[in-house]
Structure 1
């Protein structure tokens, strides 16, 4: 079992299979089961300001704020943990192109 501190991932640059920048790790999507946390994926982007408000794919924002928070999250992409090839000291390498990354993680297993 590999153990990795979440704090070691946050802020790292994400590099796609072509060596192009895909943003940085803004958040980590996990599942809690049986007393353990399993990483499902990473939220890549430029900023996590909207996510810090607590609104994301699992919590819908109130109507007056929905468009603003959606606009703030427009650059976010989801990286499945299975697509992570390597976690280096200064970057996370992924096996897919940045253009192929989906926008949200809602409904992902």
Structure 2
């Protein structure tokens, strides 16, 4: 499976409720190998794709607009993914417990 195959897939939490759709895949590169860290869920990941998220702060005039664009964004760690099927990802946590944004760990 390619990371691009996950984009747009519907995500269902452990209670069967829709948690959103996969908007982006967060990866880390170590010694030439890529490791999936998690998935960004929501309606759109435009702000994150522009690079504004974890460590890059947007310019002041754009801060509120980009925060508004990210208002539905949620992050699920790859460890919390239970199964991946065509156009469907099941996670083992409740949607309400997901953090609003991805932040680089360690």
Tell me the TM-score normalised to structure 2 length. Answer: 0.94
- Give the alignment partner of residue 92 of structure 1, picking from 67, 73, 89: 89
Corresponding residue of 2:74: 77
Between the two proteins, the alignment pairs up a number of residues equal to 106
Task: Extract unaligned runs of 5+ from structure 1.
Answer: none
Instruction: Tell me which residue corresponds to 2:65.
Output: 68
Which structure 1 residue ranges, 4+ long, deviate > 4 Å from structure 2? Answer: none
In structure 2, stretches of 5+ residues that fail to align are none
Q: Distance in 2 between matches of 1:44 and 1:19?
A: 16
Q: Give the superposition deviation at 1:107.
A: 3.5
Q: Which moved more, 1:51-60 or 1:98-107?
A: 51-60
Partner secondary structure for residue 67 of structure 1:
helix
Aligned to 2:48: 51
For the pair 1:33 / 2:30, whether they are aligned, the reply is: yes
Q: Which moved more, 1:46-55 or 1:95-104?
A: 46-55
- 1:97 Cα offset (Å): 0.4
Partners in 2 of 1:84 and 1:60 — Cα distance? 29
The one of 8, 11, 18 equivalent to 2:5 is 8
CA distance in 2, matches of 1:53, 1:104: 15
SS at 2:36's partner residue?
A: strand
